Amino acid sequence: MAFLNSLNTIGSALTAERFRSDIILQNLANQNTTRTASGEPYRRKQVIFQERTQTFNEALNQVRGGGVRVTRVAESQEDFKPVYDPDHPDADEDGYVYYPNVNNTEEQVDLLEVSRVYEANMSALSVIKAMATKALEIGRNG
């Protein structure tokens, strides 16, 4: 069962990091969006992870429910970036346009981190796959 637990853990991490990369890409795509449906600039979103706990069904089947899961997507409460541009259609009465609280560099660093974590989990998956293949070979030859 440890073999399947490892696959469950890696699978949950890959799924969570894929979701996180989608949110980061959404942040990057909206870094210049000055007005959303709510009427204010786009707010940076961040993914909140939590350890995945064992479900009742997993406990009955003696399968460990390890790994990670996305608990929520939080909006950053940092201030928007004011830029003086009185000709912009979204400028306020003082001529300032408020841009999203998205920092391009920070998003790119986060995206690089997601890539590295995803890569590490794929490496772990390859190791587990190699171990399973060797176990099958031993069973076939033994």
At residue 140, does pLDDT exceed 90?
no
Q: What is the mean pLDDT of residues 89-115?
A: 95
Other CB atoms within a 10 A radius of the CB of residue 102 amount to 25
Give dist(CA 76, CA 86) in Å, integer.
Answer: 26
Residue type, 82: P
Q: What pTM value is reported for the model?
A: 0.82
Domain ranges within the chain, ordered by starting residue: 2-78+104-141
Q: What is the mean pLDDT of residues 75-84?
A: 95
pLDDT of residue 113: 95
Give dist(CA 1, CA 19) in Å, integer.
Answer: 27
Three-class DSSP labels, 3-30:
HHHHHHHHHHHHHHHHHHHHHHHHHHHC
Answer with the residue of higher pLDDT: 10 or 142.
10
**Average pLDDT value for the chain:** 88
pLDDT of residue 8: 83
pLDDT digits 0-9 by tens, 36-64:
999 999 999 999 998 877 666 665 665 55
